[in-house]
Amino acid sequence: KHSFNIAVIAGDGIGKEVMPEGLRVLDAAARRFGIALHYKHIEWSSCDYHAVHGKMMPDDWKAQLAGVDAIYFGAVGWPDAVPDHISLWGSILKFRREFDQYINLRPARLFEGVPCPLANRKPGDIDFMIVRENTEGEYSSVGGVMYEGTEREVVMQQSVFSRHGTDRLLKFAFELARKRERKHLTVATKSNGIAVSMPWWDGRAAEIAAGYPDVRWDKQHIDILSARFVLQPQRFDVVAASNLFGDILSDLGPACTGTLGLAPSANLNPERRFPSLFEPVHGSAPDIYGKNIANPVGMIWSGALMLDFIDQSGTVGRQAHDAILAAIEQVLAEGPRTPDLGGSASTTEMGKAIAAAVERATSSTRDFT
Ligand code: NAD
Ligand code: IPM
Ligand code: MN
């Protein structure tokens, strides 16, 4: 009954180093909670695959993934080999769009034992969820270059916000806020400067908010919102944002909690018509690849989110998630830690320690549902 098919795509760079640790911890949790995980290891979606085949994925990629319960994804991109817009639009961005993974859920939390770059912050002061729109907005490929190569050259690119796309994002964010203790939502906007789409976003938020009288909410311009992530992070509970604003906030948020290496993400198709995808927020990190020093926590935490989401019974998946989170908390507090956390442990050592702690862990805080 608790049996799932997972497509495993490690991708490029440190994706290849953190993925084995993610699987190690998933396996430990699966053993402990009686979950059967069947992995389908897939080579495509990497720049290595591109070098051989001239494209990131085979043409029938969608058919090949039909029926998987989720995709567990490392990172993609190797700019020296393939231009980023080619590799990313040929893989991760394609999954998000074609599988209608319109929610990109990205938690940021300050843990015990992790040095915080913000002064005087302790665990509990930073604990929020970014709900990033993941299929439209500023990431539309609508546009073009005119008068190319001349002095009159002009480049244009549209942002596309549909009512359908914006409303479903906002509803998800309000629902999530409703389930959390503080029941607060901040909507990222920029209605002073971006005077067409952003006042419209404000209007959509106000209309949706009327259905959630129990949720307190506010809207903040993205510039001051970013400043408050640094100055007053305790103000935030759930933050809803467009695709680009959410992208930026989801590097800034985890940076405020010490390192990008901790940050997980869940690219969700909440209706489950298509597989959802779970990946760390970080990329392939060419600058540290090959040294076995990447922090595996973002990958591991993403696996916890995956187990929670795919198990619709809401029992073992949730328990496995909580056990993994407790194990992460314990290892962050006691070590071993990778260099980005101030330690000197390897990726493998940290992954093994978390897997061992999963065998013992009991419970932890919730992420979603
Ligand atoms: P990056 O996230 O790969 O790295 C940014 C910085 O953070 C680097 O200094 C890196 O060493 C550090 N870092 C990242 N993850 C870490 C970890 N787990 N532990 C310790 N340190 C970590 O971003 P970038 O350098 O802008 O991009 C590199 C490549 O990755 C590019 O091709 C980019 O397009 C791609 N990328 C892919 C994804 C994805 O697959 N979802 C996300 C972001 C970037
Ligand atoms: C992320 C990444 C991607 C994004 C890039 C690699 C296209 O930065 O997952 O946050 O912008 O969404
Ligand atoms: Mn990003």
Condensed to tens digits (0 to 9), the pLDDT of residues 226-235 reads 999 999 999 9
Mean pLDDT (whole number) for 314-332 = 96
pLDDT of residue 362 exceeding 80:
no
263 lines ligand 2 (CB under 6 A): no
pLDDT of residue 364 exceeding 60:
no
pLDDT at 1: 76
Cβ-Cβ contacts under 8 Å for 282 (sequence gap 6 or more): 14, 75, 260, 261, 263, 298
176 lines ligand 1 (CB under 6 A): no
Q: How far is the CA of 244 from the centre of ligand 3 (A)?
A: 8
pLDDT of residue 79 exceeding 70:
yes
175 lines ligand 2 (CB under 6 A): no
Q: How far is the CA of 3 from the centre of ligand 3 (A)?
A: 32
Of 3.40.718.10, 3.40.50.1970, 3.40.50.10860, 3.40.1800.10, the CATH number of 127-256 is: 3.40.718.10
pLDDT at 360: 83
Out of 132, 141, 247, 278, give the residue to mutate to test ligand 2, the one with the largest number of ligand atoms within 8 Å of its CB: 247
Q: How far apart are CA 344 and CA 362, in angstroms?
A: 27
Q: How far apart are CA 214 and CA 28, in angstroms?
A: 39
Mean pLDDT (whole number) for 247-257 = 98
Q: How far is the CA of 90 from the centre of ligand 2 (A)?
A: 13
237 lines ligand 1 (CB under 6 A): no
State both tokens at 143: 């546009």
pLDDT at 363: 52
Q: What is the pLDDT of residues 174-220, one digit of tens each?
A: 999 999 999 999 999 999 999 999 999 999 999 999 999 999 999 99
pLDDT at 247: 98
Residue 309 confidence class, pLDDT cut points 50, 70, 90: very high
CATH 3.40.718.10 location in the chain: 1-111+260-369, 127-256
What is the position in ligand 1's atom list of the atom closest to the CA of 297? 18
Closest ligand to residue 132's CA: 2
Closest ligand to residue 77's CA: 1
Read off the pTM: 0.97
76 lines ligand 1 (CB under 6 A): yes
pLDDT at 361: 61
132 lines ligand 1 (CB under 6 A): no
285 lines ligand 1 (CB under 6 A): yes
pLDDT at 154: 98
Rounded (to 5) percent helix, strand, coil in the chain: 40, 20, 40
Give the closest residue to 363 by CA, choosing from 286, 295, 304: 304
Report the CATH superfamily, name and number, of domain 1-111+260-369.
Answer: Isopropylmalate Dehydrogenase (3.40.718.10)
With beta carbons less than 8 A apart as the criterion, state whether 266 and 303 touch. Answer: no
Mean pLDDT (whole number) for 135-164 = 97
Residue 142 confidence class, pLDDT cut points 50, 70, 90: very high
Query: Of all residues in the chain, what percent carry a pLDDT higher than 70?
Result: 98
Residue with CA nearest ligand 2 atom 7 = 88
With beta carbons less than 8 A apart as the criterion, state whether 368 and 175 touch. Answer: no
Q: How far is the CA of 212 from the centre of ligand 2 (A)?
A: 31
pLDDT of residue 365 exceeding 70:
no
Task: Please tell me whether the peptide bond between 336 and the residue prior to it is cis, using omega within 30 degrees of 0.
Answer: yes
